[in-house]
Amino acid sequence: MTQEAIAELKALLGPRGWLEGEDAATYTQDIRGTYKGDALLVVRPTSTEEVSGVVKICNRHGIVIVPQGGNTGLCGGAIPRGNRPSIVLSVARMNKIISVDPLRYSVTAEAGCIVQTIHDAAAEVDRAFALDWGARGSAVIGGAISTNAGGINVLRFGNTRDQVLGLEVVLPDGRIWNGLRALRKDSSGYDMKHLFIGAEGTLGIVTKAVMRLHPRPLRDQTMYASVGDIERLMELFALARSVGDSNLTAFELIPGHMVDRAIAKYPVLTRPMETRAEWYVLVRFSGGEDITEKLETFFGEAAERGLLTDAALAQNMAQEKNLWDLRDEIPPLKLMTGKMLKWDTSVPIDRIIPFLAECEKVACAIHPPSKVIAFGHVGDGNLHMSIWPEGTIGEPVFDKLCKDIVSAIDNLIWQYGGSICAEHGVGVENYDRVQGQKSPLEFEMMAKIKQVFDPQNLFNPGKMFNPAYGDVKQAAE
């Protein structure tokens, strides 16, 4: 049966449409080499019709399909898992912009279109695209939609869900749903596109999308500033909001020791200012000529209130780029060695600082030299947080400690009303842990939706959630 399916897939797609063996290796592991899986074949269709054809063949033969975009998702969602016969379906060759419509403020693109390509296409018609993060040069729009990605502009524009106007999706039975609408308002019943956003390929394969564009600001300007009192971070953020209003487009927190590490490691980066501090913020205003004045007003008021101690304002494109390159190089995995426990967490913004203090306490109670490293999109309550259990201890003990720390911190995040998956999705990394985040009733609703769309569980099984979490008996309790 399997051999028959492989032959049918190869015949459908032609010699350039599939890869196997060594040629397929980069598609069966993630970019960090953390997740590896087996695939009978990697298929690389070039059209929605080909995707539909692939799905119909797999449906007939009971073959699992793992959709893959740029493979930058960092939690194993795009890599086959388990022993069922599987293929990876890469949308990399479906990478075209279909149309850019400056009057409708929208762009229509194929699922494999790279995020940076959409930025470039928008800029050509004097529009801006909101989605932006470190992997902009390799992540694709289908992957961003399927993980409901966030990034540095969420504060101003919301996350991917807020940017999607319409979708085209191939369903698990191979039928094509054309929902490529560019409407801002439509109250005609269930809005089906939202089911596929953040679904991590478990309900359908996104093949095209209509995405929102925005007016292009005349310019962006970023201030790098040393924080006077981290306990008053939210006061600082509130001030940036009130001075910047809709000009405030990013508010990021960066620990000083990570700046030192990044500058030591990447000679191309320059230190924005000599003042050393435990914490810095990157505050970006976007708009017209008056943003410099507004940033200066913001700094003046913040310094007077002891919220900031010093600041460097980017004066040209090179300085602006240096600040954001510095931000992109901050992730601890790039700068530190040794076992690190990692969360992309969100908590209500006013609770970020007490939460961080509590994290260190909780981790240190389990393993005293644990160090908490947090940075990220504080403006939307989202922290990339790592815990570094320092010290040399024997492996088995160490693994047990790590497990205990993960479980204690997950619980703490939930106590604070937060999420352990604020960005990047659930994938494999958070598959078991996410059970504690939602009620059995919520999982039951998810399991029922999954059952309706994909009764054979062929679309990305073993990812995002375990349908058993929605066990009806548990839900009734």
Ligand X SMILES: Cc1cc2nc3c(=O)[nH]c(=O)nc-3n(C[C@H](O)[C@H](O)[C@H](O)COP(=O)(O)OP(=O)(O)OC[C@H]3O[C@@H](n4cnc5c(N)ncnc54)[C@H](O)[C@@H]3O)c2cc1C
> Minimum Å distance from CB 437 to ligand X?
17
- 367 or 384, CB closer to ligand X? 384
Give yes or no for a contact between 63 and 87, defined as CB atoms under 8 angstroms apart.
yes
> From the list 52, 59, 117, 146, which residue makes contact with ligand X (rule: CB under 6 A)?
146
Q: Per-residue contact track with ligand X, 199 to 228, x per CB under 6 A? A: -xx---xx----------------------
> Minimum Å distance from CB 137 to ligand X?
9
Q: Per-residue contact track with ligand X, 103 to 132, x per CB under 6 A? A: --------x---------------------
- 205 or 313, CB closer to ligand X? 205
Among positive and negative, which fits the CA dihedral 195, 197, 198, 204?
Answer: positive
Nearest C-alpha neighbor of 36 from the set 114, 93, 1, 88: 88
Q: Decide: is 134 part of the binding site for ligand X (CB under 6 A).
A: yes
Nearest C-alpha neighbor of 35 from the set 80, 66, 65: 80
> Minimum Å distance from CB 361 to ligand X?
27
- 35 or 355, CB closer to ligand X? 35
> Minimum Å distance from CB 77 to ligand X?
3
Q: Decide: is 143 part of the binding site for ligand X (CB under 6 A).
A: yes
> From the list 40, 58, 65, 139, which residue makes contact with ligand X (rule: CB under 6 A)?
139
Question: What string of H, E and C letters represents the secondary structure of the chain?
Answer: CHHHHHHHHHHHHCHHHEECHHHHHHHCECCCCCCECCCCEEECCCCHHHHHHHHHHHHHHCCEEEEECCCCCCCCCCCCCCCCCEEEEECCCCCCEEEEECCCCEEEEECCCEHHHHHHHHHHCCEECCCECCCCCCCEHHHHHHHCCCECCHHHHCCHHHHEEEEEEECCCCCEEEECCCCCCCCCCCCCHHHHCCCCCCCCEEEEEEEECEECCCEEEEEEEEECCHHHHHHHHHHHHHHHHHHEEEEEEEEHHHHHHHHHHCCCCCCCCCCCCCEEEEEEEEECCCHHHHHHHHHHHHHHCCCEEEEEECCCHHHHHHHHHHHHCCCHHHHCCCCCEEEEEECCHHHHHHHHHHHHHHHHHHCCCEEEEEEECHHHCEEEEEEEECCCCCHHHHHHHHHHHHHHHHHHHHHCCCECECCCCCCCCCCCHHHHHCCHHHHHHHHHHHHHHCCCCCECCCCCCCHHHHCHHHHHC
Nearest C-alpha neighbor of 136 from the set 316, 328, 319, 283: 328
Determine how many CB atoms are found less than 10 A away from the CB of residue 225: 29
Q: Residue with the closest Cβ to ligand X?
A: 143
Determine the interface stretch with ligand X among 102-110, 133-141, 400-408, 438-446 (rule: CB under 6 A): 133-141
> From the list 37, 80, 142, 462, which residue makes contact with ligand X (rule: CB under 6 A)?
142
> Minimum Å distance from CB 432 to ligand X?
16
- 151 or 166, CB closer to ligand X? 151
- 175 Cβ contact partners less than 8 Å away, ≥ 6 residues apart: 52
- 27 or 299, CB closer to ligand X? 27
Q: Decide: is 149 part of the binding site for ligand X (CB under 6 A).
A: yes
Task: Report residue 82 as tokens.
Answer: 């388990």
- 134 or 379, CB closer to ligand X? 134
> Minimum Å distance from CB 96 to ligand X?
14
- 35 or 298, CB closer to ligand X? 35
- 39 or 144, CB closer to ligand X? 144
Task: Report residue 16 as tokens.
Answer: 């350039």
Counting residues that bind ligand X (by CB under 6 A) gives 36
Q: Which 223-282 residues touch ligand X, going by CB under 6 A? A: none
> Minimum Å distance from CB 350 to ligand X?
22
> Minimum Å distance from CB 304 to ligand X?
32
- 221 or 460, CB closer to ligand X? 460
Q: Which 389-448 residues touch ligand X, going by CB under 6 A? A: 423-425, 427
Q: Decide: is 314 part of the binding site for ligand X (CB under 6 A).
A: no
- 70 or 287, CB closer to ligand X? 70
Q: Decide: is 193 part of the binding site for ligand X (CB under 6 A).
A: no
Q: Decide: is 386 part of the binding site for ligand X (CB under 6 A).
A: no
List phi, psi (to 5°) of 406: -55, -45
> Minimum Å distance from CB 204 to ligand X?
7
Q: Which 46-105 residues touch ligand X, going by CB under 6 A? A: 66-74, 77-78, 91
> Minimum Å distance from CB 433 to ligand X?
16
> Minimum Å distance from CB 168 to ligand X?
10
> Minimum Å distance from CB 318 to ligand X?
22
Determine how many CB atoms are found less than 10 A away from the CB of residue 398: 15
Q: Which residues of this chain interact with ligand X, rule CB under 6 A?
A: 66-74, 77-78, 91, 111, 133-135, 139-140, 142-144, 146-147, 149-151, 200-201, 205-206, 423-425, 427, 460, 463
